[in-house]
Structure 1
Amino acid sequence: MMKKEKAKGNIVSSANKNLENHNVSMGNQLVRGSHNLSLNEKRIIAACMSMIDSRNEIFNETYKVNIYRLYAKDFADLYELGIKNAYTQIKDGISSLVNRTGRLFDKSKNQIITFNWIDFSIKSNNSDGYIDVAFGAVVREYLFELKSEYTSYKLINTVCFKSVYTWRVWELLQSYKLKYNNKKLTSEMTPEHKAAFEKKMIHKYGLPNCWKVIDERNDEITRGRNLPNRYLVTLDDFRFQLSIPESYRWQDIKKQCIERAISEFKKSLNIEMTYKVYKSGRSVTAIDFQWKKFEQLDFIDDE
């Protein structure tokens, strides 16, 4: 039986859109997944996502899939490339994206699923210098009709990144931004909830003194201090979210993923990020990132 082809929706073009002023928006499950993209592929995906009206465009799994047309000229302007180099990059990038997959945790199925970034109707046109991108069905589910549990950021804040790891750390920081900042933790917990929370903190993050950490944080909030944002993640989850190769040891992760991100944030965005690690014996089990609020940057809060 021949597979029925999805109907094509509108062609949404990058022409005359000034993409640097647009936002990239994704559901948090997608943000916190494993993207497995190169820097060039990430640039293409983000540029196309920035053309989406994430609050108003309707998700439909089977009918009228929109196509996002990215012109080499707009890609060149966005990432400060020569026009020939820009077209080569988007042409090569779309060729590799055809078979590129990612993974995410699907809450409804309670399991990790694999998804295709690109769906169908992908082509390049040499005379006009553009590529057409249609997102895969799973990806589209986390791009449209976003009302809650999503992350948005200005595309212009990422164009300076030279490493895809820096970009992924940035997205994760935005995903967890202000989630618990300046809110007292565990104040409404029952004894049963407190016991379960303590067990999770000890076994997942290796924090046997978690109540001391929480009490100190709550005390700081009571005294009116504006605390830094935090992102506490296990090393295993961090590997998954950044698609870090198994061959990378902790020193490789520290140098290539964390310290490079810290350097790029400080140099390009005037952001100060620090981190500390938690260990079980001699092995790193979790990373605690903290970073100062970015008053000078344009951010969009989750709603």
Structure 2
Amino acid sequence: MQQSLSDETLAVAERSAEEFSAIHVIESVPIEITEIEGDVLEADGRVKGTVAMSRALVNAQQGLSLNEKRLMMTALRSIDSKKSPYQHGKADGYVTVRVRADEFAAVAALAPRSGEKQAAAAYQGLKEACASLMERKLNYMDGRKRVQLRWVWKATYHDGEGWAEICFSPDLTPHIFLLKSRFVSYQLEFARGLQSIYSWRLLELLMRERDRGILLITVEDLRAVLEIPETYRFADIKRRVVDMAVTELNTKADLVIQWQAIKRGRAVHSLRFEFVENPQGRLGLDS
């Protein structure tokens, strides 16, 4: 014989039902940042757009692969870093940006094959970067606090349509909007066709010191920011990271860079980079 519920149990159940029904779901409306319209390239073949971010973001351990970096920075080129995201018309939403396959291809310097609308590698690279971006975190120091946050809280690839939708983490907003001082900016053209994440990250460190034209950084800080494996000795860092990155930036970016190692005792303690913008302009991707 089934035992009936007590009056007390029924009363608790009724109160719980009332409390549950009182919960209201708030729908957050996306703040859609329109991607730069028209051809992704200027008439002279240069990639349109400028990337801007806080110095903390540049100094952070970004944790991005090369394709993820291409995706995130292509999204950032559509943002006016001096404005508030809420100037786009909504006051309670999250920031979302579209990145098209042709934009991704231009930044990666992937030319369409004969008869194809876009290089297949661009679609695949955009799709894979979008899929893995959810797991990526960045780390930086705020005084004595170590801050960790995600780049995005949603990333959607539209299969068959050739574009991705990136929803920035709300905690990232102060690092990419309303930037008035202590921020870093550079033309995305500078990074076009880079084949190493080390080259891209070194570029950002150089752009941090753009006014001076000199970057002085300890080997320890370079290892941390560029996320160089702990197993690398300085000889490995020189050959696999610095020499390779400087050569690539001298070839593919509008920069002329020279560097030297500075020793303390017998060990290399820091690196000094001197750089200027190349007065002759870009030398070409195939140089």
Give 1:164's aligned residue: 197
Distance 1:68 1:286 in 2: 39
Does the C-alpha gap of structure 1 residues 72 and 112 become closer, same or farther in structure 2, counting only changes over 3 Å?
same
Question: What is the DSSP-based 3-state SS (H/G/I as helix, E as strand, rest coil) of the residue aligned with 2:125?
Answer: helix
From 30, 34, 39, the equivalent of 1:12 is 34
Listed as ranges, the gaps of 5+ residues in structure 2 are 1-22, 42-46, 113-117, 283-287
Question: What is the DSSP-based 3-state SS (H/G/I as helix, E as strand, rest coil) of the residue aligned with 2:194?
Answer: coil
Q: How far is 1:132 from its partner?
A: 0.5
* One-letter amino acid of the structure 1 residue matched with residue 93 of structure 2: K
Question: What is the DSSP-based 3-state SS (H/G/I as helix, E as strand, rest coil) of the residue aligned with 2:135?
Answer: coil
Q: Deviations over 1:144-178 (max 9, x none)?
A: 01111111111112112111101111111010122
Distance 1:152 1:258 in 2: 22
From 78, 100, 109, the equivalent of 1:51 is 78
Q: How far is 1:133 from its partner?
A: 0.3
Say whether residues 1:42 and 2:69 are aligned partners.
Answer: yes
* One-letter amino acid of the structure 2 residue matched with residue 101 of structure 1: K
Greater CA deviation, 42-51 or 69-78?
A: 69-78
Q: How far is 1:236 from its partner?
A: 1.1
User: Is contact 1:59-1:141 (8 Å) kept?
Assistant: no
User: Is contact 1:15-1:74 (8 Å) kept?
Assistant: no
User: Is contact 2:107-2:191 (8 Å) kept?
Assistant: no
Percent of aligned pairs with the same residue?
27
Say whether residues 1:73 and 2:102 are aligned partners.
Answer: yes
Give the structure-1-normalised TM-score.
0.73
Q: How far is 1:3 from its partner?
A: 9.2
Say whether residues 1:114 and 2:148 are aligned partners.
Answer: yes
Q: How far is 1:276 from its partner?
A: 2.0
From 255, 263, 276, the equivalent of 1:271 is 255
Question: What is the DSSP-based 3-state SS (H/G/I as helix, E as strand, rest coil) of the residue aligned with 2:168?
Answer: coil
Greater CA deviation, 275-284 or 37-46?
A: 275-284
Q: Deviations over 1:73-110 (max 9, x none)?
A: 33224433243221111110011111011111224xx3
Give 2:14's aligned residue: none
Aligned pairs for 1:93-242 (under 5 A) are 93-107=129-143, 110-120=144-154, 122-178=155-211, 181=212, 229-242=213-226
User: Is contact 1:14-1:74 (8 Å) kept?
Assistant: no
Does the C-alpha gap of structure 1 residues 138 and 296 become closer, same or farther in structure 2, counting only changes over 3 Å?
farther
Q: Deviations over 1:228-264 (max 9, x none)?
A: x211111111111111121222111111221012211
The alignment of Structure 1 onto Structure 2 pairs a total of residues equal to 245
Aligned pairs for 1:254-293 (under 5 A) are 254-269=238-253, 271-293=255-277
Does the C-alpha gap of structure 1 residues 6 and 241 become closer, same or farther in structure 2, counting only changes over 3 Å?
farther
Does the C-alpha gap of structure 1 residues 270 and 58 become closer, same or farther in structure 2, counting only changes over 3 Å?
closer
Distance 2:82 2:246 in 1: 32
Does the C-alpha gap of structure 1 residues 119 and 296 become closer, same or farther in structure 2, counting only changes over 3 Å?
farther
* One-letter amino acid of the structure 2 residue matched with residue 140 of structure 1: T
Distance 1:28 1:3 in 2: 37
Larger radius of gyration: 2
Say whether residues 1:92 and 2:114 are aligned partners.
Answer: no
Q: How far is 1:53 from its partner?
A: 0.8
User: Is contact 2:150-2:169 (8 Å) kept?
Assistant: yes
Question: What is the DSSP-based 3-state SS (H/G/I as helix, E as strand, rest coil) of the residue aligned with 1:34?
Answer: coil
Question: What is the DSSP-based 3-state SS (H/G/I as helix, E as strand, rest coil) of the residue aligned with 2:140?
Answer: strand
Greater CA deviation, 150-159 or 259-268?
A: 259-268
Give the structure-2-normalised TM-score.
0.77
Does the C-alpha gap of structure 1 residues 11 and 146 become closer, same or farther in structure 2, counting only changes over 3 Å?
closer
Give 2:16's aligned residue: none
Say whether residues 1:30 and 2:57 are aligned partners.
Answer: yes
Distance 1:263 1:66 in 2: 36
* One-letter amino acid of the structure 1 residue matched with residue 109 of structure 2: E
